[in-house]
Structure 1
Amino acid sequence: MKDRQVEVVAGGHAVARVSGALLVVAHRGAAPLTPASPAALALTDLAELVREAQRHRPDGPGALVAREATRWLMKRAERISPGVPIDFGIVSPAEHGGLAVFLHGAITAVLAGDGGVELLRGSDAAFTVDRVAPVPARAAALFADDAHGRVPDLPAAPGIGSLVEGVAQAGGAILWTDAALAETAPAGRGAEPAPVPTARIDREPRAYAPTERDLAPATGAQEQVPGRTETQASTSMLDSVEEQHPDRHAAHTLAGTNPAPRPDPDLQRRLEATAKATALTVKVLGFKCARAHPSDPRSAFCTVCGMPVDQTQALIEVVRPPLGMLVLDDGMTYMLAADAVLGRDPEHSDAAQRGLVPLKVDDASGGMSRAHAEIRLVNWDVTVVDRGSTNGTRTRLPGYRDWVRLNPGQPMILVPGAEVMLGNRVLRFEPIAPPPFGG
């Protein structure tokens, strides 16, 4: 992904290419974009987040980027832009091939393949869009939506502009794939073949904050003439690199044997529509932290941002925030904002008909039922319930080696780091902002 041409389009938003990833942060308002603007400050934070994810997961940071971006949203975004949501999108390499797309707010990802164009809209999701998609045949782009929710059309062919690394003021960015570049290669000279993937990863430039020069209009972006350098040829979407740093739960986590499933766009849209109708509407008794975030009254630290909470205040009715996320063994994540039913085909289950969000988990082992288990949010607790599945649902607490099979219909409260096994797939429950201070 680092070796592919990235072309920026004219506009007034903050765009960056960092460690092979594309980032777009929308600049809203009439004031000019400056290094002190919320969009520029957010871009600096997110760029550093991507660099860290790339350092820890060099073979595909997409899942880690999504996880850390979610935490950033919950604990940092409000400080940068109080009361005004920050719209942003990130496209980064996924672990087993493909592109990881993370969107929040009025940002649209455009995936242009041989079969047409697919649009992923952050504004359609209850909270965020977190997808892994195959690398499209022509291009992948990120745009900030205009006031009417529209985005520009993709050009018919790549231009000569190329953002290699750094920041630009633009309306969006287009990542052109090898097929699109081959079509525009000079006559009489075929596109150079892609070299064999290697285990080397180039050292990244040091982090820096965007300056006035960095935020110059897109017309100032570095340009590259048709007779391009060796960076035109791709080394593969995800080159093999040194072994990633181990996760703190990795020693006890059983990875599923199935490869990451190809995304189902229709199913994803239905999931997002269902979540949008049910998320962030439940009211419970709780506290509010100094930043007015609703928080679990049993915790000394804010559920959302991780800051200390005054335990002497009176209980009040608050809208319950997301209580954490489920991380599947292939890196996909699901924000826990509403009750859900999990299985290999949960869409037609009675639970889905009652309004639970259906979460399809592919499993070729034959050990997972169509509607295997339910995730139920009870006040401030996340619980898992086996639905009487044939092969059962197993859980494991952090630090323990043995799995425990649940009794059907008996809910079990999940603590941060707890794992759930359905068939041959494993999910881990993680908090949004682990105390203290989200660290």
Structure 2
Amino acid sequence: MDRQVEVVAGNHVITRTAGAVILVAHRERGKLTSDSRALAASRALAELVTEAAEQAPDGPGRLVARQATRWLMKDADRISPGEAIEFGILSAADTGGVAIFLHGSVTAVLAGRLVEYYRGSDAAFTVDRVAERPARAVALFIDEGKRRIPELPERGIGSLVEGIAEASGAVVWFEGEPVAGYQPVSEPVAERKQATGTPERVVEPPPPTASYDPEPERIPLDPNLTPTKTSTSLPSGLLPDLETSTAADELDPDEVPTSGLYREEPNAAGGFDPHRAPTEMGGTNPAPKPDPDLQRRLEATAKANALTVKVLGFKCARAHPSDPRAAFCTVCGMPVDQTQQVAEVIRPPLGMLILDDGMTYMLAADAVVGRDPENSEAARAGLVPLRIEDSSGGMSRAHAEIRLMNWDVTVVDRGSTNGTRVRQPGYRDWVRLQPNQPMTLIAGAEVMLGNRVLRLEPVAPPPFG
């Protein structure tokens, strides 16, 4: 994205590389150092984003989301064993819009005629969404406990062009003129390495470059405030200090403004646009209250994802466990030797459920789906509760269950009032399930609960992908 990226001061890690913006939460105690997990994760994600931008220079967003999901499943635990890495990525989409990928307590804000929100904490696994470019700005913020996200400022004069800085967030401005865009390198990765074996640029991002307008004074957040200039410096051994305009100062929880962010802007007619679809579970309701059960649900999901279920299967050439009925590995997409003997293996996730608003759920354990599944008997029995908002009134509290049977994904309607419908790929008609009778889903199948639709997608890339 060839736009000005303004840094919001804080103690997390912001990276700009290949035109994308990566924000990683620093959750360890103490200040950020060269050994911090957040910095290691930022470097790994920067490498991933740069490679995606070289493969899809016209819009790497979808590829970034796919590679980031695989990275979370396979590599993130090496950097942060037992602790989730929370991050957000903004990149260009092949549609000309903005690709948003969130994992954990990270929020994206789109400011245009309406103010829209995407919250990683609302998803059981990730948020993967492509949105139109907003008229004003798109921002990423790390969620800080019960504090509200700082209100978007007036446009400042600082710009992070490339590199890493400490931050609590970043604002990508679409107002005004673009900055110099990212130019992908055309030669293959192997040819870009020097003869000495020095890694390519993305592994160790260069120092950030700050570009400024001639005007020396920053634009204040409020006309009643005194303009200030904040120097955001990295810990010793990382990068030189970066002077940047500050979009928001640290706020006391009791002094957080109660208006501005959690609202919809009225349209020209004085009302709200009835044709604007909600962008997250729960829509864009004004001033949502903190969900006291959210952390419990996330912990339950994390626990479910860590379960080790053993089944009979094959292993591919890379030793990944795979469905013995599949010719290609369900983890990496490589061919599988069908002549080998089946053996007991730890089952990997069997796919992802993608909600119609872009929320994703990794299928690593049995789950119960509905508008209020947390208090259901299934949840008390150990199923992961996946709560989905539905304004139609057609979804039950515990509507259906997703059961993993050996290598199959099945859906079971639990006697819901309005039923559960399934449409397998290649068919036009929906089939209503008989209560308590499981139906096996294949990749591409869609499940309708109330007025919401879930689609099952594979985790692995296409063969030789």
Question: Letter of the aligned partner of 1:260 in structure 2?
Answer: T
Shift of 1:300: 1.9
In the alignment, which residue of structure 1 is the partner of 2:308? 282
The 3 A distance-change label for structure 1 pair 401 and 102 is same
Shift of 1:225: 5.8
Shift of 1:412: 0.7
SS at match of 1:275: helix
SS at match of 1:175: strand
In the alignment, which residue of structure 2 is the partner of 1:324? 351
Question: Letter of the aligned partner of 1:91 in structure 2?
Answer: I
Q: Percent identity?
A: 46
Q: 2-side partners of 1:29 and 1:309: how far apart? A: 41
The 3 A distance-change label for structure 1 pair 8 and 293 is farther
Q: After alignment, is 427-436 or 267-276 more displaced?
A: 267-276
Query: Which of 186, 201, 207 in structure 2 is aligned with 1:217?
Result: 207
Indicate whether 1:70 and 2:47 are aligned.
no
Query: Which of 451, 455, 459 in structure 2 is aligned with 1:424?
Result: 451
Question: Letter of the aligned partner of 2:302 in structure 1?
Answer: K
The 3 A distance-change label for structure 1 pair 2 and 417 is same
The C-alpha deviation readout for 1:104-142, integer Å capped at 9, x for no partner, is: 8xxx74789xxxxxxx999xx99x55488xx9x997446
Q: 2-side partners of 1:292 and 1:370: how far apart? A: 41
In the alignment, which residue of structure 2 is the partner of 1:174? 169
Q: 2-side partners of 1:91 and 1:290: how far apart? A: 32
Shift of 1:379: 1.2
Q: 1-side partners of 2:410 and 2:57: how far apart? A: 33
In the alignment, which residue of structure 1 is the partner of 2:388? 361
In the alignment, which residue of structure 2 is the partner of 1:185? none
Question: Letter of the aligned partner of 1:174 in structure 2?
Answer: G
- Tell me the C-alpha RMSD between the 2 structures: 5.3
Q: Where does structure 1 lack aligned partners over 5 or more consecutive residues?
A: 32-36, 113-119, 144-153, 179-192, 238-255
Give aligned pairs, total: 362
In the alignment, which residue of structure 2 is the partner of 1:44? 47
Query: Which of 267, 270, 281 in structure 1 is aligned with 2:296?
Result: 270
SS at match of 2:368: strand
SS at match of 2:307: coil
- Is the 1:14–1:40 contact (alpha carbons within 8 Å) kept by the matching residues of 2? no
Shift of 1:259: 2.2
In the alignment, which residue of structure 1 is the partner of 2:159? 162
Q: 2-side partners of 1:30 and 1:408: how far apart? A: 53
Q: 2-side partners of 1:28 and 1:99: how far apart? A: 30
SS at match of 1:376: strand
Q: 2-side partners of 1:324 and 1:28: how far apart? A: 36
Question: Letter of the aligned partner of 1:278 in structure 2?
Answer: A
TM-score (norm 2): 0.60
Question: Letter of the aligned partner of 1:282 in structure 2?
Answer: T
The 3 A distance-change label for structure 1 pair 389 and 2 is farther
Q: How does 1:251-400 map to 2 (within 5 A)?
A: 259-261=278-280, 266=291, 267-285=293-311, 286-400=313-427
Q: 1-side partners of 2:217 and 2:424: how far apart? A: 54
Query: Which of 391, 410, 415 in structure 1 is aligned with 2:437?
Result: 410
In the alignment, which residue of structure 1 is the partner of 2:16? 16
In the alignment, which residue of structure 1 is the partner of 2:89? 91
Q: 2-side partners of 1:221 and 1:352: how far apart? A: 51
The 3 A distance-change label for structure 1 pair 402 and 54 is farther
The C-alpha deviation readout for 1:38-92, integer Å capped at 9, x for no partner, is: 96565233245368889569xxx6x875445214555xx65xx996679673333
Q: 1-side partners of 2:371 and 2:77: how far apart? A: 41
Q: 2-side partners of 1:64 and 1:387: how far apart? A: 36
Q: How does 1:96-107 map to 2 (within 5 A)?
A: 100-103=100-103
Q: 2-side partners of 1:369 and 1:434: how far apart? A: 34
The 3 A distance-change label for structure 1 pair 130 and 361 is same
- Is the 1:110–1:140 contact (alpha carbons within 8 Å) kept by the matching residues of 2? yes
Q: Where does structure 2 lack aligned partners over 5 or more consecutive residues?
A: 27-31, 110-118, 144-149, 190-199, 220-244, 246-260, 262-274, 283-287
The 3 A distance-change label for structure 1 pair 260 and 11 is closer
Q: After alignment, is 400-409 or 289-298 more displaced?
A: 289-298
- Is the 2:87–2:103 contact (alpha carbons within 8 Å) kept by the matching residues of 1? yes
TM-score (norm 1): 0.63
Question: Letter of the aligned partner of 2:48 in structure 1?
Answer: D
Shift of 1:400: 0.8
